[in-house]
Each structure stands twice: as C-alpha cells, then as structure tokens.
Amino acid sequence: MAEEVVSDTFKLSSGQWRYDIKTLDTMNDVEPDPGPLAQVILAARQRSDSCLRSQRVDVYLICLQDHAILETLEAHPWLDLFALVLYIVVHELIHIERFSRFKQNFQATPEETHSEEARVHRLTRQIVENLPVAGIDAVLHFFAHWHGPIDALHTPDAIVPKIR
Ligand SMILES: [Zn+2]
C-alpha cells in the first residue's frame, strides 16, 4: 500500500523501485540501532560503464526496527500497528525517491539531514492523511511535532519521535 501511494504521488512505475524491506530477524549484517523506528541503508551501488549519475542504480534497504516499533506501541497503546508501519514505510520510500532523484544527498550534513527529515515528514503527512486507514489520525498526531515549522524542531530529541 505504501509503495502504491508513493508511486502515485511521484508518478513512478513499480519497476523503478530498487529496495527491499528488512525486519530485525532478517538483518544479519545490519546492527540494530536503538534510536529510530526504521532506517534506510544504501545496500548496493550497481556500477555502470557510464559516467552519468542518472545511469547509476542504487539499491536501498528499509530496515524496520521491530523492537523500537513494539516499544512505541506499548508506550502509546492508542496507536495502531498497521497505520504506524504504513506511515513509516511511506516515509522511508519518500527518502528513497529523493535519494534516487538526487533531491537529497545520502551524505548530508546534520543540518541538511534535519531539515530534510522535517520535509519528508510533511510529505508523508500529505500522502497518508487522506487515506481511508483506521488509526491514521492518531499516527499523524504522534508525529505532529515534525509537521510544523522547522524552527520549532529545536527541542530535545527525546520528545520528538524519530524515524530517520
Ligand atoms: Zn526520515
């Protein structure tokens, strides 16, 4: 569902996506990260004979941090698992779409990363807020801090739910 709505928004065909989704038990060589609910990893950069960046094919992994997602649900029992994971996967697919189209550099500075994160949260909100998914309003409320002006984000990390 996440792939479908993000593809629709950015006019992508399903063949243009190069990613996979991993959960903790399938992430053999990826260290679990205690912080965010998920993260995107550049898994492979397929070489091409061309020197054009547009000819390069990058493959990404969305690593869902199961333990962090379950802890979040335990601490916020009004959140729905499906709606939360939908938000997370839409969010990560937007990152991938932006990396793939060079709208965002994978090696960004912390400031760039932070404003990009807020931008991706706002795009995520625009995509999921009108979906007929039970519990999506509660998830949007949970991430509401990210949807306001970027200046308002200078608060301690602990109170801002992170996806990355
Ligand atoms: Zn993010």
In a domain, 54, yes or no: yes
Ligand 1: distance of its center to the CA of 78 in Å? Answer: 22
Paired tokens of 63: 């690593």
For the stretch 12-31, pLDDT in tens is 887 778 899 998 877 766 66
For the stretch 79-123, pLDDT in tens is 999 999 999 999 999 999 998 877 777 677 888 888 889 999 999
Ligand 1: distance of its center to the CA of 37 in Å? Answer: 10
Q: What is the pLDDT of residue 136?
A: 97
Ligand 1: distance of its center to the CA of 50 in Å? Answer: 30
Q: What is the pLDDT of residue 88?
A: 97
In a domain, 97, yes or no: yes
In a domain, 14, yes or no: yes
Q: What is the pLDDT of residue 34?
A: 60
Q: What is the pLDDT of residue 157?
A: 46
Ligand 1: distance of its center to the CA of 15 in Å? Answer: 23
What residues make up the domain containing 7? 2-159
Q: How many structural domains is the chain composed of? A: 1
In a domain, 153, yes or no: yes
Chain centroid to CA 23: 14
| Residue 37 near residue 68 (C-beta atoms within 8 A) | yes
| Residue 72 near residue 37 (C-beta atoms within 8 A) | yes
Ligand 1: distance of its center to the CA of 135 in Å? Answer: 21
Whole-number average pLDDT of the chain: 83
Paired tokens of 86: 């939908």
Ligand 1: distance of its center to the CA of 92 in Å? Answer: 6
In a domain, 164, yes or no: no
How confident is residue 48, by pLDDT bands cut at 50, 70 and 90? low
Q: What is the pLDDT of residue 109?
A: 80
Ligand 1: distance of its center to the CA of 152 in Å? Answer: 17
pTM: 0.83
Paired tokens of 102: 């060079």
In a domain, 84, yes or no: yes
